[in-house]
Structure 1
Amino acid sequence: MEAYVHSNTENHIATIEFFHPEQNSLPGNILAQLAQAITDAGNNPEVKVIILKSGGDRTFCAGASFRELIAIDDPAKGKVFFSGFANVINAMRKCPKFIIGRIQGKTVGGGVGIAAATDYCFAAKFAAIKLSELNVGIGPFVVSPAIERKMGVSAMSQIAIDANTFYEAEWARGKGLFAQVYEDIEEMDNAVAAFAQHLCTYNPEAMTEMKKIFWKGTDDWDHLLAERAAISGRLVLSAFTKKTLEKFK
């Protein structure tokens, strides 16, 4: 199957699904489509709630596309690539609708940042998380503000430093990333659908005002995440990172 971003609206619920055959990794064009789909759903008066999910039943998101990381050959291109994750997170932050995350499997790097930027997140027990960026000589600079906001500095720094370890879904739930963890994907999907339908019975204006309050203090993220993208764009060209990425060619 080819990579895609699909959006469908039914009964006031917009479901946005992304997919990439390489474990739902996210190249720049898919990140751009994802950010636009979130913005469009947020601006659609027919939409009251958004569900964000990925295709397949294994990995939710493997993070950045290694093919594109390897191809980066100057800091400007590096900043543009990492800004793709920044744009998705900022689109989620600015979206006036609640975004429900549906995390069916393992989540790495930028995928953890996307999960953290949802407003309410469901997970299956298979949804272990890892911030692996330090392994290749960079760090989770772009996504760490969203993760820190949701899980706190202590939990974020723990998984950022311990870059080889997958942390189980129940650990992530205890730190606030996931609201609920389910034994299987079917049970999780039923819960996501019921929750989204129930949210549609609430006053949309009240939910929009609540979201503003939840994200208070993040107005500088357009600038902040661009700065963080520049750091990653510089480090991806370091001798250490280039040597490490050679192993993945």
Structure 2
Amino acid sequence: MSLENLNGSLETSFQNTIATVQFGHPASNSFPRELLDRLTAEINSLSRNKEVSVIVLKSEGDRVFCSGASFDELLLVENEEQGTEFFSGFAHLLNAMRNCNKLIIGRVQGKAVGGGVGIISACDYVFATPQSDVKLSELAIGIGPFVIEPAVSRKIGKTAMTQMTLAAHEWKSADWAFQKGLFSVLCETGDLDNAVENFAKKLSSYNPEALQEMKKIIWEGTEQWESILIERANITGKLVLSDFSRNALLQFKK
């Protein structure tokens, strides 16, 4: 496998004022730290781009939107500093999406686990398909969805987040996620791209200054995330070193 495949892929295309960002990784669109950093940098860059008014975030393939953190990299963590550094990657990405002055539309074509659910939660509007089941499996591998919890709870509420977290072995259906507010629109797979494209075009036709002001209002009250998400990364970085977590990760890999 080439180095490019190991690190995953990230591509951005432009159509008028709409930027479409597509990420991918051969391991079910999981995120090694390097790919997380690239996506974070791209979101920050697009936020500064005055020619862009709307961002569409999507992933490769047709079965899995995102399977969260790279298990291979998690197994390489040897100390708390490395653990905090790895999980802070998700913290930086969620904060970049939160701080981005462009509205972000999520295109979710399939299942999402862990950090993938966090990324969906940080989108401002999300289109998904009936195949887009979701799961927070972190407790099953000895950690918890600590970094992404503020984003998930903000979108679906503390009660629904708790249901997902404690039932770490259980997939929640796309319809459940739609009913809880994680997804804005649920449409058939064949209609997904047209629905996303039409909505993005309509949104991009609005006053860009109004869109930016609306983004600020949508994310009011989250300023403390700059520090909270890093603190949560530290908690996760410690837990991933436990014997429980190590054994569980090895079993999941098998």
User: The TM-score by the shorter chain falls in which range?
Assistant: over 0.9
Distance in 1 of aligned mates of 2:9 and 2:205? 31
Q: Following the alignment from structure 1 to structure 2, what is the Cα–Cα distance between the partners of residues 72 and 101? A: 30
Partners of 1:215 and 1:182 in 2: how far apart?
26
Residues in 2 aligned to 1:9 and 1:229: alpha-carbon distance in whole angstroms: 33
Q: Deviations over 1:46-71 (max 9, x none)?
A: 00100000011110001110000111
Amino acid aligned to 1:103 = V
Counterpart residue number, 1:187: 191
Shift of 1:238: 1.1
Superposed displacement of residue 10, structure 1: 1.5
Question: Aligned residues: percent identity?
Answer: 51
Give structure 2 stretches of 5+ with no counterpart. none
2:218 equivalent among 214, 218, 222: 214
Q: Which residue of 1 aligns with 2:241?
A: 237
**TM-score if structure 1 supplies the norm length?**
0.98
Alignment partner of 2:65: what SS?
Answer: coil
Please name the residue that 1:121 is paired with.
Answer: 126
How far apart, in 1, do the equivalents of 2:99 and 2:34 lie?
20
Equivalent position to 2:32, from 27, 36, 41: 27
SS of match in other structure, 1:60: strand
Distance 2:51 2:177 in 1: 33
Q: Which position in structure 2 is the counterpart of 1:223?
A: 227
- How far apart are the structure 1 equivalents of 2:193 and 2:46? 20
Q: How many Å separate the matches in 2 of 1:241 and 1:39?
A: 33
Aligned partner of 2:143 among 138, 142, 146: 138
Matched with 2:52 is: 47
Give the CA RMSD over aligned residues: 0.9
Deviation at 1:246, TM superposition (A): 2.7
Q: What is the CA deviation profile of residues 114-157 of structure 1, one whole-angstrom value per residue up to 9, with x for unaligned ones?
A: 00000000001100000000000100000010000000000001
Q: Distance in 1 between matches of 2:182 and 2:248?
A: 30
| Structure 2: distance between partners of 1:107 and 1:8 | 23
Query: What SS does the aligned partner of 2:75 have?
Result: helix
Q: Residue 98 of structure 2 aligns with which residue?
A: 93
Secondary structure in 2 aligned to 1:240? helix
Count of residues in Structure 1 that have an aligned counterpart in Structure 2: 248
**What 5-or-longer segments of structure 1 have no aligned partner?**
none
Aligned residue identity for 1:126: Q
Once residues 12 and 160 of structure 1 are traced to their aligned partners in structure 2, the CA distance between those partners, rounded to angstroms, is 38
What TM-score, normalized by structure 2, do the two folds share?
Answer: 0.96
DSSP-derived class of the 2:14 partner: strand
Question: How far does the alpha carbon of each residue in 1:166-201 deviate from its partner, in whole angstroms, 9 at most, with x for none?
Answer: 1111100000000111121x3011000000000111
Aligned to 2:205: 201
- Partner amino acid, structure 1, of 2:21: I
Report the AA paired with residue 243 of structure 1.
N
Quick one: distance in 2 between partners of 1:236 and 1:35?
A: 23
Q: Using the alignment, how far apart are the partners of 1:219 and 1:9 within structure 2? A: 30
The aligned runs of 1:51-62 (5 Å cut-off) are 51-62=56-67
- Counterpart CA distance in 1 for 2:117 and 2:65 is 9
For residues 78-135 of structure 1, what are the alpha-carbon distances to aligned partners after superposition, in whole Å with 9 as ceiling and x for unaligned?
Answer: 0010011111100000000100000000000000000000000000110000000000
